Chains A and B, each alone.
Chain A
Amino acid sequence: MKLQGIDVGIVRKGKGRPLLMLHGGGGPVAGMPFADRLAERFEIIAPTHPGFAGTRIPEHFNRVDDLVFLYLDLLDELDLKDVVLMGFSMGGWVAAELATMTTERLSKLILVDAVGVKVGGREDRDIADVFGLPPEQLANKMFHDPSRAPDINALTPEQLEIVAGNRMALGVYTWDPFMHNPKLPRRLHRIDVPTHFIWGASDGVVTVDYGRAFCKMISGATMTVIEKAGHSPQSEQPGAFVDAVFSFAGR
């Protein structure tokens, strides 16, 4: 659909309460098995951030708040109400920012291995520098079971180009300050909907400790830690992930 003059790809599937699902740096996830399970109880609305999955980054986009305002418009345009807003990783950052602006159309917020805040000191590397890690080290941080990391040599040139494009888009949105907004912690008090964090126990990009510190910044927020999962519990442990979503937000 057209938003702010930009063609935004949106997957809609399932029936039930609207679930606005914001993907992370790896690209869209609405086609994964966990999403099919969620679609049994939710109407999933899953936009592709401009720049991901082979799409163009608009000339004037270069920050996470460009996405925040895009999705504020999306909520208005579709006139969505009672929305469960769920974001993964960088999408979690977008979701948290959006919720600090207005929760008028939201009922619940779910942040999955989300980035967006700085929790440590200036010399602490709170968030792994995903652009500065050797591929095998990055896989170790991303996955509980690194053998699940995609083998880029098995991808077609077209698939690999999409992976490279996703990586570029992630860089455009998150490069500096890296993966966070220094002002966000002082704005999180505005979030007045029930908020739940879901975290992979083996996440090495943003650790469980980071997740706990982030969780403490939002009043009343709770957290589920999923064992044997890394940065993407929805793909490594889809069953436990869906259970966590249902028990927090499924009616």
Chain B
Amino acid sequence: MKTYWFTEDCYPHLPDESSYRSIRVDLPSRLCDPDVAHDLYNRYLDLWCACDDIGLDIMLNEHHQTATCMVPAAPIMLGILARQTKKARLLILGNPLPNRNQPVRVAEEMAMVDVISKGRVDCGFVRSVPYEAAAANVLPWQGTKRLWEAHDLIVKAWTTHDGPFNFEGKWYHHRQVNVWPRPYQQPHPPIWVTMGSASTAVPVAQHGHVGAVFLAGYPNIRTIFGGYREAYLKAHGRVPALDRLAYLGLCYVGENEREAEAGARKLMWYMDANKVPVEWSNPPGYHPPAVSAQVMKGRSGAGVPTKPKLEEQMQRGNVFVGTPDQVFNQIKAFWEYSGGFGNMLIMGQAGFLSDADALKSMNLYSKEVYPRLRDLAAKADPAELYERSKAMPAKQAVDLGTFGVDFVR
């Protein structure tokens, strides 16, 4: 079991949310004080660098035109961390391929950072969330198909070492592809792809890439992981190793329950603050019409954010909170129910959670939870674990509402 520690690098110092319609896309940048942003960037970088000493790997991502995430160019953050850390794996999850018009440029950036870091890059590809359509000015229609065409071009760019090749696909055209440097890891850095449904899991499994699921919780995790496992079995003739799957949840570990709950409530800023009206959460072609219709109805003109509750999100398997024993047991229960996974992705800082509090949780996790999870995963037989998971009765959990539509389809 590996654990990647993640923060979205938010800018939480905003006026009351009744004063703006959306935290994404059209939030005026006059609300951003560059001095405050400078301090925040450096704090977040310090936390990531601390992972190196604490024994955690690093995950980062990107979003655009939003105070929820001040990283519109994740490869730049990745480049800084490549130089400033020495041991941690560097997971970028990920490059929003359908929104990047030049996949070859992505191949170049990732190869460059892989070489600088001496082969520590885990390269994620994502379709991206609906709010990114307006920011990228890219129609999200057929985004998954564009992702895979860009993926094919990037993999070929990484693995071709005898001069230029030609690529003229449906979306991407490049006549002289010849990436310098080539990646440090051969044949190329591990590839991760996010999955939001059983069907989106299929190509990830067929390629044997790592499939990552965000906040799907008990209601959806078996469907998505099951979709991956069945497709992997069909394509490769065996149940996938646990390291092929990853799950992201929020996590706060405290010395005692009171401390843990206080930390977790601060982490919940990530969900609470996501005020996004329908015009940005439902761009044409992102969702199939039936889902788009639900989003239209669910949020018609209201601009009201969903306000998930901590207790519900814990029950759902999206947030793991408590003492080391409690967090271990919560993750273990979810892990067993899901059929197991080899990569735990932890959102461990958000909102106004202080560095000291974030570090405290990171250290407690690393010292008291992580070794037990590693031990658990090391002893597990993936095939037996999968069979056991399928036999478990479905666990009831509260509906996440429209919040989850961005990650789970």
Residues of A within 8 A of B (CB): 62, 131-136, 152-153, 157, 160-165, 167-172, 175-176
Contacts and interface: CB of A to CB of B under 8 A. Distances in A.
B300 interface: yes
Contact of A134 (B134, B137, B277, B296): B277
Contacts of B280: 132
Given A134-B21, A135-B278, A171 B285 contact: yes
B134 A168 contact: no
A44 B303 CA distance: 42
18 contacts: A131-B134, A132-B280, A134-B278, A134-B279, A134-B303, A152-B300, A153-B297, A160-B297, A161-B289, A165-B289, A165-B292, A167-B284, A168-B141, A168-B284, A171-B141, A171-B283, A171-B284, A175-B284
A152 B139 contact: no
Nearest to B145: A59
Interface string B297-322: 10011010000000000000000000
B356 interface: no
Given A175-B139, A176-B139, A131 B283 contact: yes
B290 interface: yes
Given A131-B284, A134-B21, A168 B301 contact: no
Bin the interface of chain B by size: 20 to 34
A235 B278 CA distance: 26
B241 interface: no
Main secondary structure of the interface of B (DSSP, over half): loop
B278 to A, nearest CB: 7
A164 B296 contact: yes
Contacts of B287: 164
B398 interface: no
A22 B206 CA distance: 43
A176 B134 CA distance: 11
Q: Interface majority SS on A: helix, strand, loop or mixed?
A: helix
A168 B287 CA distance: 9
A135 B283 contact: no
B289 A164 contact: yes
B293 interface: yes
Nearest to A166: B289
Nearest to B292: A164
Of B287, B293, B303, the most chain A CB neighbours within 10 A belong to: B293
A172 B286 CA distance: 11
Contact of B285 (A152, A157, A172): A172
Contact of A161 (B279, B285, B290): B290
A169 to B, nearest CB: 8
Contact of B293 (A160, A170, A172): A160
The CB with the most chain A CB atoms within 10 A, among B21, B134, B297, is that of B297
Given A160-B293, A171-B283, 13 more contacts: A131-B284, A132-B134, A132-B280, A134-B303, A135-B279, A161-B293, A163-B293, A164-B290, A168-B284, A168-B289, A168-B292, A171-B285, A175-B284
